[in-house]
Amino acid sequence: NAGVTQTPKFRVLKTGQSMTLLCAQDMNHEYMYWYRQDPGMGLRLIHYSVGEGTTAKGEVPDGYNVSRLKKQNFLLGLESAAPSQTSVYFCASSFGNSNQPQHFGDGTRLSIL
Amino acid sequence: RKEVEQDPGPFNVPEGATVAFNCTYSNSASQSFFWYRQDCRKEPKLLMSVYSSGNEDGRFTAQLNRASQYISLLIRDSKLSDSATYLCVVRAFYGGSQGNLIFGKGTKLSVKP
């Protein structure tokens, strides 16, 4: 019963490096989301997708790109990492945007030096 | 812009105590309301949805006051396992948006023996 799986779980990058975070869900959910969580802040939405091949900007999209080539996968890319992107990143998925709950992955802890 | 506000706590209570958390939201277009629970260094998990008439799930009771834009969560007979951060979450549909979740910063609860 995998649910939402994020890889990697931890990563340390140097400023300017690039990387991709992978989110995979096996629940056949249409909607997928990427959030970041910083100390003293609530979760903030970076980008989201309402279906395969679609993406949209959330509250804090700058410095990130996403792709949803397959329904089960949602990739978050950092093209040129900055220390301000040090955070815990959570992926989530849901059936829709009504009262359906969002199911979260267990997070990726990313440090940018 | 503080769309969802919560008392950050921490609330330190003995086992068996009753504890109440409050939350206010600023967007009157908010239509769905939830309480999520987040354990230390873990992902958020849905605790319960909040309905207009109020709802109960075992020891947990949620209330919504749309006129005052206020949500509450009551926990009766606190257990050690209730220790966590409780996130107030609202969803607002406006301006043609698909209605994304807005998370409060969370209220930390610590239940002591």
Question: What pairs with residue B13 in β-bridges?
Answer: B111
Give the integer Cα–Cα distance in Å for A92 and A6.
10
Give the best residue of B89, B101, B105 to mutate against chain A (max A CB count within 10 A).
Answer: B101
Which residues on chain A are in Cβ contact (under 8 Å) with B34?
Answer: 101
Amino acid A2: pLDDT: 76
Token pair of B2, please?
Answer: 């503080």
**What average pLDDT is seen over chain A?**
94
Q: Report strand pairing: B107-112 vs B11-14.
A: parallel
As a whole number of angstroms, the distance between CA B55 and CA B61 comes to 6
B97 part of contact set with chain A, CB < 8 Å: no
Cβ of residue B87 closer than 8 Å to a chain A Cβ: yes
Report how far apart the first and last C-alpha atoms of chain A are (Å, whole number): 35
Report the chain A residue with the minimal C-alpha distance to residue B108.
A40
The first and second tokens of residue B4, run together, are 């969802």
User: Would you call B83 helix, strand, or coil by DSSP?
Assistant: coil
Query: Is the CB of A98 less than 8 angstroms away from the CB of B42?
Result: no
B99/A contact by beta carbon, under 8 A: yes
Q: Please give the share of chain A, as a percent, with pLDDT higher than 90.
A: 87
Asked if B84 and B71 count as a contact pair (C-beta separation under 8 A), the reply is no
Angstrom distance (rounded) from CA A27 to CA A63 = 29
Contact B106 A42 (CB under 8 A): yes
pLDDT digits (tens), chain B, 113 positions:
568 999 888 999 999 999 999 999 998 878 889 999 999 989 999 999 998 889 999 999 999 999 999 999 999 999 999 999 999 999 876 555 567 889 999 999 999 99
- The arithmetic mean of pLDDT across residues A91-107, rounded, is 87
**Residue A29 structure tokens:** 């959910």
**B98 to A50: CB separation less than 8 angstroms, yes or no:** yes
As beta bridge partners, residue A81 has none
Q: Is the pLDDT of residue A21 over 90?
A: yes
Q: How far is CA A48 from CA A38, A97, B61, in A?
A: 19, 12, 31
Span A34-74, pLDDT tens digits: 999 998 888 999 999 999 999 999 989 999 999 999 999 99
Give the whole-angstrom CA distance, residue A80 versus residue A16: 4
What local confidence, expressed as pLDDT, does residue A97 receive? 66
Interface contact flag, B34 A101, Cβ < 8 Å: yes
Q: Note whether A63 contacts B: Cβ–Cβ < 8 A.
A: no
Q: What is the pLDDT of residues A72-98, one digit of tens each?
A: 999 999 999 999 999 999 999 998 766
Beta strands in chain A (DSSP E): 4-7, 10-13, 19-25, 31-37, 44-49, 56-57, 65-67, 73-78, 87-94, 103-104, 108-112
Q: What is the DSSP letter of A83?
A: G
Give B-chain residues touching A104 at CB under 8 angstroms. Answer: 43-45
Chain A residue closest in CA terms to B8 = A40
In the prediction, which pLDDT does B91 show?
A: 87
Distance of alpha carbon B44 from alpha carbon A94, whole angstroms: 14
- pLDDT at residue number B71: 96
Higher pLDDT, B8 or A12: A12
* Residue A1 reports pLDDT greater than 80: no
What is the distance between the terminal CA atoms of chain B, rounded to a whole angstrom? Answer: 38
What's the CA gap between B83 and B93, in Å, rounded? 32
